[in-house]
Amino acid sequence: MSFDPGSALQHRKRRHIDVCLTEAVDYQTVTTGFERYRLPYNALTQTDLRRIDLSTEFLGSTLRAPVLIGAMTGGAQLSGIINRNLAAAAQQLGLGMMLGSQRVMIDDDAAAASFAVREIAPDVLVIGNIGLAQVSPAIVPGLATALGRVGADAVAVHTNPLQEAMQHRGDTDFSGSLHRLSELVDALGYPVMLKEVGHGIGAVAAAELVGCPVAAVDVAGAGGTSWARIEQFVRYGEVRHPALAEWGIPTAQALTEVRAILPDMPLVASGGIRTGMDAAKALAMGAQVVAIARPLLAPAIESVAAVVDWLEVFLEELVICLHGCGAQDLDALRAGGVVATT
Ligand SMILES: Cc1cc2nc3c(=O)[nH]c(=O)nc-3n(C[C@H](O)[C@H](O)[C@H](O)COP(=O)(O)O)c2cc1C
């Protein structure tokens, strides 16, 4: 029997979804760290709750609220349903959306249909996706075609050395990847955002990025979904290396570290963002927007309405946070900062 890398990749994507839906895939001991901060509550707020303005700019688009639907999936048939439901919700709420890795689309033309969201989401900031381990000069034309086909506004490159190391037949050669990232930025003609997948971009990686012309960084820190955990469930049916599954830079720490080293870089806070309060703290600590991935997976399999419901609860809490801080808009929220409690 011949080995078909395209279908093997689609099978793995499907296993990721199944494991995310059935196993405990969150960090078991590591938290995001946002619980160590408090928003400065203002009992004499002068804001009107109904007039709070959440709008923001990100990668050249105006969002109605500072929220991106996190990169999740594409390729398998179920992925098409997930992507379309997420896209329709993003359009309804005026949010941005990241697609899952488009590698499968470059390898197998038939997979493209599962990424087709532009008709459903004509006004949405759509961010394509590729793995840093797959980035090379040879991939540039195929990637540009894939981005053009989905009508992407930008691309996220995910760097995931720990995830790949846990994966059966993972791409484990990251040598020269920083140079290849810079080459991609120069050659592609799309804004490039660098992201992790939940183990965090922190001070050391941020220092490597000084001078690299990426358009944004998504810190994708620890405290939410652990991909080193998921890959162990996929590979062994159990977690054999619990210490590796718990390894990462907590999201609040990652955000603080990257902000200090790259003060002008637009930052996404993600990894364990679960509530409007988490988002408000991340924004007050300097994130331009937040992103949410796994909590939206089950709603996205269900319906557009289920995704919208989940996000509306989240956004309602975020609005109340601004109101309680006396912040009319996100600039005012950021100006107020956060209070460290430990
Ligand atoms: C089912 C699923 C598939 C994912 N696939 C991708 C992917 O293809 N590319 C990527 O950059 N990140 C991918 N991620 C990682 C997320 O974008 C995110 O960085 C990570 O899950 C941490 O965020 P969370 O705690 O909100 O889930 C995936 C996440 C989930 C849950």
Domain count, the chain: 1
Ligand 1 centre distance from Cα of residue 268 (Å): 14
Q: 173 lies in which domain range? A: 5-35+54-303
Would residue 67 count as lying in a domain? yes
Tell me the C-alpha distance between 193 and 215, whole Å: 5
Pick the atom of ligand 1 nearest to 223's CA: 25
Pick the atom of ligand 1 nearest to 270's CA: 23
Q: What is the pLDDT of residues 74-91, one digit of tens each?
A: 777 889 999 999 999 999
Q: What is the pLDDT of residues 111-136, one digit of tens each?
A: 889 999 999 999 999 999 999 999 99
Would residue 333 count as lying in a domain? no
Weakly modelled stretches of the chain, pLDDT under 70? 1-6
The burial class, CB within 10 Å (0-12 / 13-18 / 19+), for 67 is: buried
Would residue 146 count as lying in a domain? yes
Q: Left, alpha or beta for 130 (phi > 0: left; psi -120 to 50: alpha)?
A: beta
Q: What is the pLDDT of residue 144?
A: 97
Would residue 316 count as lying in a domain? no
Q: What is the pLDDT of residue 1?
A: 35
Tell me the C-alpha distance between 98 and 338, whole Å: 28
Would residue 318 count as lying in a domain? no
Ligand 1 centre distance from Cα of residue 111 (Å): 19
Q: What is the pLDDT of residue 333?
A: 98
Q: Take residue 248 and report the two structure tokens written for it.
A: 């990462």
Tell me the C-alpha distance between 284 and 280, whole Å: 6
Would residue 48 count as lying in a domain? no
CATH code of the domain in which 185 resides: 3.20.20.70
Pick the atom of ligand 1 nearest to 225's CA: 25
Q: What is the pLDDT of residue 139?
A: 95
Would residue 200 count as lying in a domain? yes
Would residue 166 count as lying in a domain? yes
Q: What is the pLDDT of residue 6?
A: 60
Q: What are phi and psi for residue 116, nearest 5 degrees?
A: -75, 95
Q: What is the pLDDT of residue 11?
A: 84
Instruction: Give the annotated binding-site residues for FMN.
Output: 71-73, 101, 129, 195, 225, 272-274, 293-294
Strands, E, within 174-242: which ranges?
Answer: 192-195, 216-218
Q: What is the pLDDT of residue 5?
A: 54
